[in-house]
Amino acid sequence: MGKLDGKSAIVTGASRGIGKDIALYLAKEGAKVAVNYSGSKEKAEAVVEEIKALGGEAFAIQANVDQSEDIKELVSATLEQFGSIDILVNNAGITRDNLLMRMKEQEWDDVLNTNLKGVFLCTKAVTRQMMKQRAGRIINITSIVGVSGNPGQANYVAAKAGVIGLTKTSALELASRNITVNSVAPGFITTDMTDALPEEVKTQMLSQIPLAKFGNTEDIAKAVAFLASDDANYITGQTLHVNGGMFM
Amino acid sequence: MSTVLERVTKVIVDRLGVDETEVKLEASFRDDLGADSLDVVELVMELEDEFDMEISDEDAENISTVGSAVSYIESKQS
């Protein structure tokens, strides 16, 4: 029996990376999952197949998180399929890294729209249903850099710091309806991108991590599943750092 | 067939837990019926369901009393 049996979840940006593992892990814990994607239809469908192979329930659905019409569709399709929305994981995110001096307005806008406005739109869209249910869990994926800052990522850092503020305010507004809102802030997580880094860069980065290893996507998925479960009933408005002690 | 006022009154009584006699046309949800701002948002949501209609955020902001809710709904139904 899983921690999330009978629950239904939406995971945005779930076709790959951290979002994919969140979708898979929530499903392993018994949740039905709406696997949202923006462009990678085949990858999203592969995630759905993987969940079904485990005996779970899932469907893939396209929606751009910064488009309110898309999000309305996402929410109504999920309700139609599952009959409730118990968990929303705002994971979809992009990067357009550049030094502040070189950053184009478009790069700023794209990242803020997807990574911050997207969280607002998705949260607003599920809140109606969660208020009716008198229950709901919203988990936002922020980042260590949203707290620490990071050169070359002014847009991304601003968006991720914004997500933490949005988390706290949504938590305050929705607490009386038994809806909790929390963030998870990953540190250095192993992905295809980090695998390709030169050895000396990896060694240098490892030296900054007290636990002396990189995190993996499942570490993040487990933190999300915890916050989505009944074990986290009394936790709201918080940011859970999953970073091997890299930042405290 | 119940009137719009009767149906609105029932939604308010169920949602806010007030006595039916308190639900007068001039009663303000927040000042007279003890609703907080989120209660009003929920009330509007339930009116949307009850009357099978969509109330825009702009219109919802003008619904602050029992009477304004009733006349808004009546204007949309005719």
Tell me the residue range of the domain where B61 lies.
4-77
Chain B contacts to A (CB-CB under 8 A)? 38, 41-42, 45
- Structural domain spans, chain A: 8-189+216-240
> Can you list the residues of chain A whose pLDDT is less than 50?
none
Instruction: Dump pLDDT digits (tens) for A177-206.
Output: 999 999 999 999 997 667 777 888 888 889
Distance from the Cα of residue A25 to its chain's centroid:
13
A156 in active site: yes
Total domains in chain B come to 1
Cβ proximity of A188 and A215 under 8 Å: yes
- For residue A176, the chain B residue with the least C-alpha distance is B38
Residue A173 and residue B38: Cβ atoms within 8 Å? yes
Which tokens in the block code for residue A73?
């569709």
Mean pLDDT of chain A: 95
Alpha-carbon gap: A137 to the closest alpha carbon of chain B (Å): 18
Helix (H, G, I), strand (E, B) or coil at A123: helix
Residue A153 DSSP label: B
The binding site of A for NADP(+) consists of 13-16, 64-65, 91, 156-160, 189
Q: In CATH, which of 2.60.40.10, 1.25.40.10, 3.40.50.720, 3.40.50.10610 is domain A8-189+216-240?
A: 3.40.50.720
Joined together, the tokens standing for residue A137 give 């869990």
Complex-level ipTM: 0.82
What would the pLDDT profile of B25-69 be if each residue is shown by its tens digit? 999 999 999 999 899 999 999 999 999 999 998 999 999 999 999
The verdict on a CB contact (< 8 Å) between A177 and B38 is: yes
Contact between A191 and A217 under an 8 Å Cβ cutoff? The reply is: yes
Q: What tokens appear for A153 in the block?
A: 């990522």
Q: Find the closest chain B residue to A132 by CA distance.
A: B42
Which residues on A lie below 8 Å from B41 (Cβ)?
A: 131
pLDDT in tens, A206-223: 999 999 999 999 999 999
Q: Rounded distance, CA A115 to CA A137, Å? A: 19
Residue B56, token pair as written in the block: 């825009």
pLDDT for B1: 61
- The count of CB pairs under 8 A between chains A and B is 9
